[in-house]
Amino acid sequence: MDPDSPGSSTAEPADGPEAGPVPDEVLTRRAALGDKAAFAELMGRLGPGLYRYLLRLLDDRGDADDCVQETLLAAWKGLPGFRGESSVRTWLFVLGRHEAQAVLRRRARVPASGSVPVVDVHEAAADLRDLRADPEGDTISVELLAALDASLLLLPERQRSVWILREVEDLSYAEIAEVVQTTPAAVRGLLQRARTTIATTLEDWR
């Protein structure tokens, strides 16, 4: 895994600073054998990326919260059967997307009422907060992130998934193909289309 990627291990080392953090695979093995502390540490590492992905897939904080809960439940219950054929991170995204698709299917069955969903402005601002010191830079960052989120909403679900998993979560084409159930070649095409749409949308951002 790329050490600079967002899902990389960043927790405090368990065996002293010189030893480095316990690898995800070791925590996964321990969690599969019932070690709750290992599961909590693993989810502490992988949770932010999972939430980032699901929130942008569902565009609804309540649904994202529920989806993350269901994904973690499925992960805890499913870990004893996890064979390690993919990384635990990829497996978690597979579980997460599965849960998100169930939400999206339910939404599709409910006809749109035409009403505008209530959005809490403060909550939305907090969601977009980038914890940096410079207030001016902070504002620009928040706005740019909001513009990116808006452009992501223009993408069909699979393109959005592929773009986030590649550009933000740094998964390989093969890993993404596993998550979105397609081939690495198809991932390449989906990614290209998504990149074009996002770049075009952001052209006019101030």
Partner 1 sequence: MTEDSTPTPGRERSTRRGSTRAAEATLLLRQHTDAGWTAIEGTVIARALAAFRPSAPVRGRHDLGDFLVASDVVVARLREAVDAVRGGAAQRITCSTGERDELEQVTIQLVAAYGPPLLDLADAVHVVALACLQELLGTLAPTGEQVRVHVHIGDVSDDPRVVS
Give the gyration radius of the chain's Cα atoms: 18
Separation of alpha carbons 117 and 60, rounded Å: 10
Cβ 55 to partner 1 shortest distance, Å: 6
What's the CA gap between 31 and 42, in Å, rounded?
8
Please identify which residue in 75, 176, 177, 179 interacts with partner 1, judged by CB under 8 A: 75
Written as one letter, the residue type at 102 is A
Work out how close the CB of 124 gets to partner 1 at its nearest, in angstroms, rounded to a whole number. 10
- Whichever of 181 and 200 has its CB closer to partner 1, that residue is 200
Give the type of residue at 171.
L
CB contact at 8 A, 128 and 52:
no
The distance of closest approach from Cβ of residue 10 to partner 1 in the complex, given in angstroms and rounded to an integer, is: 11
Q: Which of 51, 59, 104, 186: binder of partner 1 (CB under 8 A)? A: 51
Q: Which of 83, 4, 96, 88 is nearest to 38 (CA)?
A: 88
Which residues contribute to the site for partner 1 (CB under 8 A)? Answer: 5-6, 13-15, 19-23, 26, 29-30, 32-36, 39-40, 43-44, 47-48, 51-52, 55, 61, 64-65, 68-69, 72-73, 75-77, 80, 123, 126-131, 141, 144-145, 147-148, 167-168, 195, 198-203, 205
